[in-house]
Amino acid sequence: MNGEIIAFCCEHSAYAAADAAGKQGLHYPEKLRVIRVPCAGRVDIIHMLKALEEGAAAVLVLGCEDGLCQHLTGNVRAKERVKYSGMLLTEVGIDGGRVGMFNLAANAPHKFIKIIKEMNERIKKQGR
């Protein structure tokens, strides 16, 4: 891997938002790689760390809006895991902001684009 952004996308929301962005012709950085998951709550700390270890520049976990997780706590757990992963990264001297969790709905392609672009800016600043 070489500086890609990995996004774990919940199939109920973020994955559809990514599709909608494509359908509307909204462009985003090519380095994004989407991995579809059934719920943001499926994404584990090791998945995020492994991705960075393999050379990803950033990892995003994108789930449903707060209170709208079909599995009630999936997005909340994901947020805490991302926070924890960020701490683990800071511990070893890596910017914890390179993992991020965001909430969005299936019909929010613009928000999707915004998240990806902001993360891209962040890693660009760090020279990746």
Partner 1 sequence: MPVKMGIFLCNCGGSLKNIDFPKVRENLEDLEDVAFVDISHNLCLEEGEKAITSRTLTENINRVVIAACSPEFCERNFARLLEKLRLNPNLLSLANIREQCSWAHEGDVTRKALELIMMAVDKARLLQPVERKEVAVNKEALVVGGGFCGMKSSLELSQLGIRPTLVEREPTLGGKLKELEGFYGSQREAMIKAVEKEENIEILTSAEVIGVEGKIGDFRVRIRRETKEILRTFGAIVFATGYKTEITAGDFPLKLGINIISQKRLAQMLQAPTLEASPETIGFIFDLSDENSRFPTLATLNNALAVKQRWGSEVYVFCKNVKVDSEGVEKLYREAREKGVMFLKFDENPKISADDGRVRIDAGDTLLGEEIALTCDLVVAEEKLLPAEGTEGLSSVLKIRTDSQGFYQEENVHLYPVSSERKGIFFVGNCRGDLDLGRVLADISSVVAIVHELLSPGKIMVEVERVKADPQKCVACLTCIRACPHRAIQLVQIDNEKVVAEISQLACDKCGICAAICPAKAIKFEGYSDDQILAQIEAIGVS
Partner 2 sequence: MEIVVIGGGIAGITSALELANSGFTVHLIEKEARIGGQAASFCCKATEVCSKCSACLLPQRLSEIASYPQISILTNSTVVGVNGKLGNFQVEVCQKPQYISPKKCIACGMCIEVCPTMPKAIQPPPPEAVPYSYSIGESQCLYLKREECNLCREICPTHAIIFGQKPQRQKLNNVGAIIVATGFDVFNAREIGCLGYGRYPNVLTGFDLERIFRNQGSLKLSSNAKEPKKVAFIQCVGSRDENHGYCSQVCCKYAMRLARLITYQNPDAEVTIFYIDLQTAGKGFAQFYKEYQESIRFIRGVPIEISEAPSDEVEVKFENIAEGRVERENFDLVTLSVGIAPRKDSWELAKVLGINLEDDGFFDIKGPLNTTETNVDGVFLAGACQSPKDIPDSIAHGISAAERAMEVLQRCQ
Partner 3 sequence: MIVAERKPMEEILQMIAPYKKVLLAGCGTCVAICWTGGEKEVGILSSQLRLARGKEGDKTNTVEATVERQCEKEMVEELRDKVEGVEAVLSLACGAGIQTMAEVFEDKPVFPAVNTTFLGSPEGEGVWLENCGACGDCFLDRTGGICPMVRCAKGILNGPCGGTRKGGKCEIDPDKDCGWVLIYRRLEKQGRLDLMRKYYPPKNFRAVKRPGKMKAIKA
Q: How far apart are CA 60 and CA 108, in angstroms?
A: 16
Sequence-separated (6 or more) residues with CB below 8 Å from residue 117: 28, 29
> Which of partner 2, partner 1, partner 3, none does 122 bind, CB closer than 5 to 8 A by kind?
none
Which is it for strands 58-63 and 99-103: parallel, antiparallel or unpaired?
parallel
Joined together, the tokens standing for residue 18 give 């990514």
Which one of partner 2, partner 1, partner 3, none is in contact with 102 (Cβ closer than 5 to 8 A by kind)?
none
What tokens were used for 86? 């960020």
Q: Which does 38 bind (CB under 5 to 8 A by kind): partner 3, partner 2, partner 1, none?
A: partner 1
Contact map string, positions 52 to 71, toward partner 3, x by CB under 8 A: xx------------------
Does 71 help bind partner 1 (rule: CB under 8 A)?
yes
61, 43 in Cβ contact below 8 A? Answer: yes
Burial class (CB in 10 A: 0-12, 13-18, 19+), 93: exposed
1's enclosing H/E stretch is: none
- In whole angstroms, how close is the CB of 94 to partner 3 at the nearest point? 6
121 binds, among partner 1, partner 2, partner 3, none (CB under 5 to 8 A by kind): none
Residues near partner 1, by CB under 8 A: 1-2, 4, 6, 12, 15-16, 18-19, 21-23, 25-28, 30, 33-39, 41-44, 46-47, 50-51, 54-56, 64, 67-74, 77, 81
